Structure 1
Amino acid sequence: MKKLLAVFIFCCAPFYANAQTGYEITIDLKNCNDSLAYLTFYRFDKTLIKDTCTTIKNGRIVFKGKEKLDKGIYSLVSQQKTILFDFFIDDDTQKLELKSEMGANLNKDLTAVNSVKQNDFFKYLKFLGEQNRSFFEYKQKTVLATKNDSLDLAKKQKELEQSIVDYEENFIAQNKGSYIADVINLKMEKGLKNVPNASNGRPDSIAVYQYYKDNFWRNVDFKNDAMMRNPFLFSKLKTYFDKVIVTHPDTVCVEIDKLLLKTKPESLMYKLLLAHFTYTYETSKIMGFDKVFVHLSDNYFKTGKANGIYDDADVVQRIIKRADKMKPLLIGAKAIDLSMIRAEDFPKFKAMGFETAKNSEEMTQVFYKNANEVNKMFVKLSEVKADYTILVFWDVDCGHCQKEIPVLVKAYNELLEEKKNVKVYSVYTLHEGEKYLKYIADNKLPFINLYDGAHYNNVIEKYDVYSTPVIYVLDKNKIIRAKRIEAGNVKTIIKAIETENLKL
């Protein structure tokens, strides 16, 4: 008997192991006329297709695979590529049966045949829908005629938000340790409940903010890659970096480092976060935030901590090269010196042969032949004496420059009227001297008008002038205080620098 039992267990073991592998999602959807459906999942900022069902019969949709599905929030997507509903997958829901009916009651009738936790999640989604619908209807009926009407609406909204928080806290408590509880925790806004009063007797807004910031990522496990397979992480990340922390590049660098330390090195979570931060701050439109990009290059890409993030290994080297170019141009860096030639000296340089030299070798010969005279004609950026130097790179034929340069002239003249010690180091990026001189004369350009007559500076590369105009504001020590600004903002920025200096 014992021998037979042992054989029975041995024979059943492979069957049992096999039963635990793979996935099978069966969805009975009444009145579904589609012949095709997709199984998709969220991953950070994207929605990706995991499986496709091409054999829908009588509304029965089956997704099946030999490998287990990763934990995450998944969606049933129609033939028209519309998300019909979401559900979660974890270790206990690899074999899942769902049912509902196409139409207005799709989400209301949505039921899991074989998962209590899945039904709890569906109830939660229905609760959110009911609360939002209730508030919308209340708002539609409310006429905001008086201050009290607005206060009542705000009170109603606060009650709705609190009811959601209470529901979510209860859901997490009842499903503690489950994947879906971790997702709801990620989504939750964690606010201070018993707000103390400040010294003025009013609610302490600083305490509220500090609690919100300190608890923003409470119980979020960044070592678990499944935490990026939902629709909440990416938006929550943007909220944190755009609205919660201080908007300053140094603060952002610290917060990024802290967040990446919470992840497993070389995990998918780590790679996606680092790639996201790198792209975000390389392309940031906020002045000064390229410092974050340089920080990432120095601390992650140059140290080998970014290896494997991109399929193309050359991308890492391109990022390092780009950051190295930007590093000398950061806010707070001393401006790279330039030695330029006055526009009025263009005829002399043309006569020397600089404009007709066919290659770099001929250019070098012309330079050394006339070196003594040329060296006397250089106007160095570092030698311009002014409290503020406006450094502008532009092109006569550039449409945007034709709009911005007159604005800069106006701002410059107004600054002089205000007795500001300011000068404009104006660099024409091309070599069509006659055209440049004509523009200066026609527009009475009151700047230090220069160009790279000796082909000595390579300003395009040095100052990363990939489009024109590019405007920098330098202080009296030639420290970069502002960069890539609109001409109309020059006066405002100089005023801000002066205000900042008064505080020091």
Structure 2
Amino acid sequence: MHLKQIILIATLIISTTLLAQQKNKQTKVVKDGFQISIHTANLKNQKLQLYLISGVTKKQFVTDSLTITDNNQIVVFKQPKKIIDAIYYLKFSTQKNGVGIAVDNGIKMDLYLNSNTIEEITCSNNAINKDFIEYQQLDKSATPEQKTNSRNVLLSRYPNSILQLYLAAENKIAEKVPATLEEKINYRNFYFTFLDRTDKRILFLPNTTKLLYKYVTLLPITAENYIDNIDNLLKGLDCKSKNYDVFSNYFISNLAFFETNQLEKAFNHLYKNYIDKNPCDIFSAADYNSYSNKYATNIKVPIGTKCPDFELVSKDTIAYKLSEVFPKNDFTFIAFYSPSCIHCQEKMPVVSASFQNLKNRYPAKKIQLIAVINDADESDWTQFISEKKLDSWLNLKSQDSKRKYQEDFNAYSNPSYFLINKSGDVILKTFNIKAIEELINK
């Protein structure tokens, strides 16, 4: 072999090796995280935001923001660390909502935008998001059947992307519910077979709430049906799974939303079987204490039972017996609070204003408001009443240093609330203005 040939082959080997090493380095750069390059034109001084929508709370969480400083500029949202695949959104800071993009770990894409209308954004080098953006544009004018057909095409096209999970959830939400009770029960029991309940990406789906809401409303909202809903979703799910926390907290908030449906038994079941003793240490101390206190109150003063009686006095030492107050009113609302409690300081003026609004709207209903200082220190009591606009309330305190009412009501945390009807039955144990109005309207 000639020397020139040897040199040429050696050069090719070295070049190939260097090229491979360079390629490996490039691969490592985009192996984890994401890189979203947005080619902008004529958008100087505009601010772009990248955000997530938590599927359980529906709140927007801005993860990054960039200001465009030139009329022709490429701005880059970049995350070098491994991420959980998610549906992100892009919007201008002045807008309420944005355009969704499917961000799988390791993705690198180029987007183009030359208008302050975010919906006009386009994608060139990433087929998933090119199709997803086009789907969202179609979504505004398409019929339900066209939307389903479009989703099914993309589902088969991108089986491993976060987009597949998002669209599969959309299909489930849009799916027709069976007509008969027996069919509905069977449908509910197999509702989640289309996904892995331990999939971490569920938290970052913007449609998780819709998916879960359809699930819990498939059958009439009763304690028995809701207990079955809880067991069907949580039983057998390892508490180490992040979704154990996600689903449990959704049930907590949803049970509060449907409070007037007498779901106390369902809450107790959820607490005893899935929350008590804080399995795997997944609930924060504050949340766990809150759930435990609610459970203790449910046991102590169940909904529908007679309210415990007490005798307290006003600041003028006039005695008031609860059992002599509620028969004279259609509804009696009791708030136990402490002037030093930060949450009480924030909440009590809101509670007072909300009830004043209800009284104005329902003048025929007699509503008595009772505020009980739930604290041995009364030095700030009068000032608190004045500052928090509680002058129209019946403001009471205990003359008993042991405050026996605390044990009777489990009113150890502040604030604690109880709504009582004319017969003295406890009908609500939270401040939920929607639920209160429903009860007043019955």
Under a length normalisation based on structure 2, what TM-score does the superposition of the two structures give? Answer: 0.64
* Partner of residue 317 from structure 1, selected from 285, 289, 304: 289
* Partner of residue 91 from structure 2, selected from 39, 59, 77: 77
1:98 is displaced (CA, Å) by 0.8
Q: Do structure 1's residue 462 and structure 2's residue 408 form an aligned pair?
A: yes
1:216 is displaced (CA, Å) by 4.1
**Cα distance in structure 1, aligned partners of 2:371 and 2:49:** 56
2:343 match:
none
**Cα distance in structure 2, aligned partners of 1:17 and 1:487:** 58
1:86 match:
100
2:167 match:
184
1:102 match:
115
**Cα distance in structure 1, aligned partners of 2:331 and 2:98:** 54
Native 8 Å contact 2:33 2:81 kept in 1: yes
1:393 is displaced (CA, Å) by 6.4
Deviations 1:75-112 (A, max 9, x none): 112132443422111135x21101133156x53x5322
Q: Which runs of 5+ in 1 are unaligned?
A: 132-159, 196-203, 347-354, 357-379, 381-389, 410-426, 431-451, 475-479, 493-504
Partner of 2:39: helix, strand, or coil? strand
Native 8 Å contact 1:192 1:212 kept in 2: no
CA distance 1:39–1:460, shift in 2 (3 Å): same
Deviations 1:130-185 (A, max 9, x none): 32xxxxxxxxxxxxxxxxxxxxxxxxxxxx22222222223222333332122101
* Partner of residue 206 from structure 2, selected from 223, 231, 239: 231
CA distance 1:192–1:429, shift in 2 (3 Å): closer
Partner of 2:298: helix, strand, or coil? helix
* Partner of residue 298 from structure 2, selected from 326, 331, 336: 326
1:289 is displaced (CA, Å) by 2.0
Which one-letter code corresponds to 1:130 in the other structure?
A: S
Native 8 Å contact 1:222 1:262 kept in 2: no
1:17 match:
28
Partner of 1:130: helix, strand, or coil? coil
Partner of 1:274: helix, strand, or coil? helix
Q: After superposing the two structures, state which structure 1 stretch, 454-463 or 109-118, moved more.
A: 454-463
1:300 match:
274
Native 8 Å contact 1:69 1:89 kept in 2: no
Native 8 Å contact 2:64 2:77 kept in 1: yes
* Partner of residue 158 from structure 2, selected from 175, 192, 202: 175
**Cα distance in structure 1, aligned partners of 2:437 and 2:271:** 31
* Partner of residue 42 from structure 1, selected from 53, 62, 83: 53
Native 8 Å contact 2:44 2:70 kept in 1: no
Partner of 1:83: helix, strand, or coil? coil
1:206 is displaced (CA, Å) by 4.8
1:11 is displaced (CA, Å) by 7.5
Partner of 1:286: helix, strand, or coil? helix
Partner of 2:194: helix, strand, or coil? coil
CA distance 1:408–1:124, shift in 2 (3 Å): closer
Deviations 1:39-72 (A, max 9, x none): 1112222221111223543253221232244311
Under a length normalisation based on structure 1, what TM-score does the superposition of the two structures give? Answer: 0.57
Partner of 2:144: helix, strand, or coil? helix
Native 8 Å contact 2:200 2:243 kept in 1: yes
Instruction: Give the 5 Å matches for 1:166-315.
Output: 166-188=149-171, 189=173, 191=175, 205-206=180-181, 209=184, 213=188, 216-241=191-216, 243-261=217-235, 264-282=238-256, 284-305=258-279, 307-310=281-284, 313-315=285-287
Partner of 2:110: helix, strand, or coil? strand
Q: Do structure 1's residue 65 and structure 2's residue 69 form an aligned pair?
A: no
1:247 is displaced (CA, Å) by 0.4
Native 8 Å contact 2:420 2:427 kept in 1: no
Partner of 1:24: helix, strand, or coil? strand
Native 8 Å contact 2:90 2:100 kept in 1: yes
CA RMSD of aligned residues (A): 4.8
Which one-letter code corresponds to 1:326 in the other structure?
A: N
Deviations 1:304-333 (A, max 9, x none): 2272332xx24423431332122232247x
CA distance 1:191–1:37, shift in 2 (3 Å): closer
Native 8 Å contact 1:222 1:263 kept in 2: yes
1:483 is displaced (CA, Å) by 5.9
**Cα distance in structure 1, aligned partners of 2:332 and 2:30:** 69
CA distance 1:209–1:18, shift in 2 (3 Å): same
Partner of 2:215: helix, strand, or coil? helix
**Cα distance in structure 1, aligned partners of 2:109 and 2:14:** 34
Which one-letter code corresponds to 2:195 in the other structure?
A: V
Native 8 Å contact 1:291 1:327 kept in 2: no
Native 8 Å contact 1:291 1:330 kept in 2: no
1:246 is displaced (CA, Å) by 2.4
Deviations 1:404-426 (A, max 9, x none): 9x9689xxxxxxxxxxxxxxxxx
**Cα distance in structure 2, aligned partners of 1:120 and 1:16:** 24
**Cα distance in structure 2, aligned partners of 1:36 and 1:251:** 48
Which one-letter code corresponds to 2:165 in the other structure?
A: D
**Cα distance in structure 1, aligned partners of 2:206 and 2:436:** 37
Q: Do structure 1's residue 32 and structure 2's residue 46 form an aligned pair?
A: no
Native 8 Å contact 1:186 1:232 kept in 2: yes
Native 8 Å contact 1:39 1:75 kept in 2: yes
Deviations 1:265-284 (A, max 9, x none): 33333222222322443575
Larger radius of gyration: 1
Count of equivalent residues: 362
**Cα distance in structure 2, aligned partners of 1:179 and 1:172:** 10
Larger RCO: 1 or 2 (CA < 8 Å, sep 6+): 2
Q: Do structure 1's residue 111 and structure 2's residue 122 form an aligned pair?
A: yes
CA distance 1:73–1:256, shift in 2 (3 Å): same
1:17 is displaced (CA, Å) by 2.4
**Cα distance in structure 1, aligned partners of 2:436 and 2:130:** 55
1:391 is displaced (CA, Å) by 12
Native 8 Å contact 1:190 1:212 kept in 2: no
Native 8 Å contact 2:43 2:70 kept in 1: no
